[in-house]
Amino acid sequence: MELLSIDIFSGVGGLTEGMHQANFKTVLALEIDELASKAYQLNHSDTTIITKDIRKVSIAEIKRKLDGKIIHLLAGCPPCQGFSSIRRLNRTTPVNDERNNLIMEYVRLVKALKPYTIMMENVPGLVEYDLFKKAIKILNEELNYEIDYKVVNVKDYGVPQSRRRLVLVGSRLGKIKVAEPNAKKMTVKDVIGSLANPEKSNDALHKIFPKHTPKVQKRIALTPKDGGSRKDLPKEYILECHKADNVGFNDVYGRLRWDNYSTTITGGCLNPSKGRFLHPEQNRNISAREASLLQSFPSDYIFPIDAPVSKIALMIGNALPPKFSYYQSLNIREHLENHLK
């Protein structure tokens, strides 16, 4: 059975990659960022992509692109950065960010296209948002979708990374549940332990990692291997801003641990001052390829290497881990096959 999908807010295609691994055919993607759209097209050339602000994309334009095709799964990750734990810090309310309202664009497309099933992934903080509750009410009561949602951790779905996400699934065909944790633990060593040193690699993406001043490089070299942190450094190498008690962000300038999950791969993953992104034993930050592997992208996934390093990091860190998408998509595929016999 050929099952067709749409990926909105598609980024570089992490969600699409997982859907394809679960044997969905993605016929349409929407993405506002031109660089991310370029990366998407480099990896998913058979998918039609609209590179435009979704708020400016008409239903008529989408239907023309679909040409009468029946959509089995509409999936997407509406950007809601105002609800991320990093943006909120100690706040009890979300940061005022216009992207918080994009969840209603997701609902707009569901209402117009009426796919058999839907999937949405987002930051856990979205659960308490009034527009999220409004969206569920519309999807369930007006559009007759059976809905389930929960906060899960991608590490329980074969991704070598601790990353809590909110997942919502829905179906017009019957009751559906978010996929249960179902994969063995994957560690940092499992996915990047066998990679050559970047200087000896033929992979251009693996050669991308930050270079530092001698003083910072010395600080990195003194950080104990396999999980060491800035707190383990001799006092003279601890930054003044880190010497005060109760200073947050304890993971900055920390090393990953070989036999554990990585910390969350964020848009700052190519900057050790942004988190625990130092290689477990080599005296450097993880490379762009290593970051993408910790996000569970295939080892040959293409990113525009001529882009600024900060942009490459954002594309990788903002993506939905494909392996996580795969298990959620496979769960939905089984649901569709059971109901569309």
Query: Which domains are delineated in the chain?
Result: 3-183+321-339 (3.40.50.150)
CA distance 220 to 218: 5
CA distance 52 to 41: 14
- Check residue 91 and give its pLDDT: 45
- Check residue 86 and give its pLDDT: 44
Helix or strand holding residue 97 (H, E): none
Confidence of residue 236 (pLDDT cuts 50, 70, 90): low
Residue 118 pLDDT greater than 70, yes or no: yes
> What tens digit of pLDDT does each residue of 97-116 get?
555 689 999 999 999 999 99
Residue 235 pLDDT greater than 80, yes or no: no
CA distance 45 to 50: 13
- Check residue 183 and give its pLDDT: 85
Residue, of 54 and 249, whose pLDDT is higher: 54
Alpha helices in the chain (DSSP H): 14-21, 34-43, 59-66, 85-88, 103-113, 130-137, 188-192, 214-222, 288-294, 309-317, 322-339
Whether residue 257 contacts residue 306, with contact meaning beta carbons closer than 8 Å, is answered with no
* 303 closest CA partner among 50, 14, 5, 99: 14
Helix or strand holding residue 3 (H, E): strand 3-8
Residue 207 pLDDT greater than 60, yes or no: yes
How far does Cα 170 stand from its chain's mean position? 20
Alpha helices in 31-170 (DSSP H): 34-43, 59-66, 85-88, 103-113, 130-137
Indicate the range of 155-159, 237-241, 287-291, 302-306 predicted with least confidence: 237-241
> What tens digit of pLDDT does each residue of 62-76 get?
999 999 999 999 999
End-to-end alpha carbon distance in the chain: 9
CA distance 170 to 196: 43
- Check residue 85 and give its pLDDT: 45
Residues with catalytic function:
80
Residue range 109-125: mean pLDDT, rounded: 96
Residue 271 pLDDT greater than 80, yes or no: yes
Residue, of 106 and 92, whose pLDDT is higher: 106
Residue 10 pLDDT greater than 80, yes or no: yes
Residue 228 pLDDT greater than 50, yes or no: yes
| E strands present in 42-184 | 48-51, 73-76, 117-122, 146-153, 164-171
Residue, of 262 and 82, whose pLDDT is higher: 262
> What tens digit of pLDDT does each residue of 12-45 get?
999 999 999 999 999 999 999 999 999 999 999 9
- Structure tokens belonging to residue 204: 């251009």
- Check residue 240 and give its pLDDT: 53
Task: Indicate if the alpha-carbon torsion angle 34, 269, 321, 300 is positive or negative.
Answer: positive
CA distance 133 to 151: 15
233: Cβ–Cβ under 8 A, 6 or more apart, which residues? Answer: 219, 222, 223
CA distance 154 to 160: 8
* 138 closest CA partner among 162, 109, 159: 109
Residue range 247-276: mean pLDDT, rounded: 89
Task: Indicate if the alpha-carbon torsion angle 162, 165, 171, 174 is positive or negative.
Answer: positive
**Considering the chain, what is the average pLDDT of its residues?**
91
Residue, of 118 and 89, whose pLDDT is higher: 118
Residue 209 pLDDT greater than 90, yes or no: yes
- Check residue 214 and give its pLDDT: 92
